[in-house]
Amino acid sequence: MLRFDIITIFPEFFRTVFDFGIVRRARAAGLVEIEAHDLRGWTKDKHKVVDDRPFGGGDGMVLKPEPIFEAVGHLAGASEAQALREAGKRIVLLSPQGRVLTQELAAGLAEAAHVVVICGRYEGVDERVAGALATDEVSIGDYVLSGGEPAAVVLVDAVVRLVPGALGSETSAVNESFSEGLLDFPHYTRPPEYRGMGVPEVLTGGNHGEIARWRRRAAIEKTRRNRPDLFERASLDEE
Ligand code: 6GU
């Protein structure tokens, strides 16, 4: 059982987002548990203040360290990154300054017992959270979001589907996009002709050896065209 605790100033954002598809099924099967918590619940002042002005000046507000350290302390039973990681717990700070989420990082998180996700605001989070509390600082890509909440949904989805049993018996996470450093091959279904567009003949022919070769070739071509960065790094054999 993998447990996710999400710390956010918008807990309502997560009310229904995990109630669909594979994530819903994994929750129903008891493979994962996901809960969102209001950061304001760990403030100690009357007005439940979670942010403050940046030292050194500038626009925007910065999330204060105290409520975040308190929240992680309560949810994970400790508030020191080293001890947490040793206990199989991962404390993920979502911020545009993090390491970019990859399939490999998601697979590592899927092996943890407990993942605490801290949603930053784009203006910033006090750096002591990244420095001494988080085991991981993660971004989901090179663009700016207003907050970490949409990124938390992406991260949880990517990790949950890698938890053993989450995909069911009919599919395996091994045989898909990125596992080999290539994009997935193109898919087609009926009708065999639509608005003048056909389907590659090899796919309707039933020769499974030829189909496998076509798919591999098409995956390589698509990767070269759309993701030259991945293509460069893919370890393709001579054939
Ligand atoms: Cl994790 N947070 C924000 N605010 N922006 C992002 C991001 C995270 N990942 C990509 N852009």
Residue with tokens 């960065």: 229
Q: How far apart are CA 109 and CA 99, in angstroms?
A: 14
- Distance (angstroms) between ligand 1 centre and the Cα of 123 equals 11
Q: How far apart are CA 132 and CA 8, in angstroms?
A: 19
Please give the full DSSP string across 106-154, using - where no structure is assigned.
Answer: HHHHTT-SEEEEEE-BTT-B-HHIIIII-SEEEESSSS--SBSHHHHHH
Is there an atom of ligand 1 within 6 Å of 94 CB? Answer: yes
Q: Say if residues 186 and 218 touch (Cβ distance below 8 Å).
A: yes
* Tokens (6 digits) for 119: 């949603």
Q: Say if residues 166 and 159 touch (Cβ distance below 8 Å).
A: no
Is there an atom of ligand 1 within 6 Å of 99 CB? Answer: no
Q: Which of 139, 146, 155, 157 most suits a substitution to test ligand 1, by most atoms within 8 Å of the C-beta?
A: 139
Is there an atom of ligand 1 within 6 Å of 147 CB? Answer: yes
User: What per-residue confidence (pLDDT) applies to 169?
Assistant: 64
Domain ranges of the chain: 2-160, 175-239
User: What per-residue confidence (pLDDT) applies to 180?
Assistant: 81
Ligand 1 nearest atom to the CA of residue 148, by list position = 2
- Distance (angstroms) between ligand 1 centre and the Cα of 119 equals 9
Q: Say if residues 17 and 36 touch (Cβ distance below 8 Å).
A: no
User: What per-residue confidence (pLDDT) applies to 168?
Assistant: 83
| Chosen CATH of 175-239 out of 3.20.19.10, 1.10.1270.20, 3.10.20.740, 3.40.1350.10 | 1.10.1270.20
The domains spanning 2-160 and 175-239 adopt the same CATH topology: no
User: What per-residue confidence (pLDDT) applies to 238?
Assistant: 74
CA distances 129 to 9, 48, 66, Å, are: 16, 19, 9
- Distance (angstroms) between ligand 1 centre and the Cα of 156 equals 14
> For residue 66, how many other CB atoms are within 10 A of its CB?
16
- Distance (angstroms) between ligand 1 centre and the Cα of 46 equals 30
Flag residues of the chain having pLDDT under 70: 169-177, 179
Pick from 159, 157, 160: nearest CA to 26 = 160
Containing 104, the helix (H) or strand (E) segment is helix 103-109
DSSP SS3 for 98:
strand
Is there an atom of ligand 1 within 6 Å of 95 CB? Answer: yes
User: What per-residue confidence (pLDDT) applies to 133?
Assistant: 96
Q: Which of 101, 145, 154 most suits a substitution to test ligand 1, by most atoms within 8 Å of the C-beta?
A: 145
Ligand 1 nearest atom to the CA of residue 98, by list position = 1
CA atoms lying within 13 Å on the CB side of residue 198: 5
> For residue 61, how many other CB atoms are within 10 A of its CB?
14
What would the CATH number be for the domain defined by 2-160? 3.40.1280.10
- Distance (angstroms) between ligand 1 centre and the Cα of 113 equals 24
Is there an atom of ligand 1 within 6 Å of 11 CB? Answer: no
* Tokens (6 digits) for 168: 């069911």
Is there an atom of ligand 1 within 6 Å of 144 CB? Answer: yes
Estimate to the nearest angstrom the gap between the alpha carbon of 106 and the chain centroid.
6
